[in-house]
Amino acid sequence: MPKNLPIFLLLAFGWLIYYYFQRADEVHAKGKYTIGYVDGAHWAVKSGKQIDYSFSVAGRAYSGGEDELPQMQRENARYLIKYDSTSPDWHAVYFTVPIPDHIKEAPANGWPEPPFPVPDKVLQR
């Protein structure tokens, strides 16, 4: 094993952590909101049940998966998504914030703020 390998691995890991938090800051700063639709679930080896969801921005589809929360609704469920307006692949789903029934769809380019009351502490990263 090369003697510089541990240093290289440490630097690479540090860069990945920095990049992740930098992107999270951008989602927070450039964020817009839309509706995420629960598509199903699957079992993940490490974390248990994962919820699969999808959303669209400007006619383009995106998807993701997150850990299931206890007692969350899955059938016909819609939840709030916050995404980076310049790169919607970077997004966060709020399974604690269901979309009210009176909201039927989101604008093609999302909302600048949620169109219904959501406590600020829920939307903090």
5-123, CATH topology level: OB fold (Dihydrolipoamide Acetyltransferase, E2P) (2.40.50)
d(CA 16, CA 28): 18
Reduced to 3 states (helix: H, G, I; strand: E, B; else coil), residue 103 is coil
Domain ranges of the chain: 5-123
Low-confidence residues of the chain: pLDDT under 50: none
> Could you report the per-residue pLDDT of 81-106, keeping only the tens digit for each?
999 998 898 899 999 999 999 999 99
pLDDT, position 5? 73
Query: Which of 33, 39, 51, 31 lies closest to 105 in space, CA to CA?
Result: 33
pLDDT, position 46? 73
Reduced to 3 states (helix: H, G, I; strand: E, B; else coil), residue 76 is coil
Model-level pTM?
0.76
Find where tokens 């952590």 sit.
Answer: 17
d(CA 50, CA 67): 5
> Could you report the per-residue pLDDT of 16-25, keeping only the tens digit for each?
665 556 555 6
pLDDT, position 42? 84
CA angle 68, 26, 74 (to 5 degrees): 20
pLDDT, position 83? 94
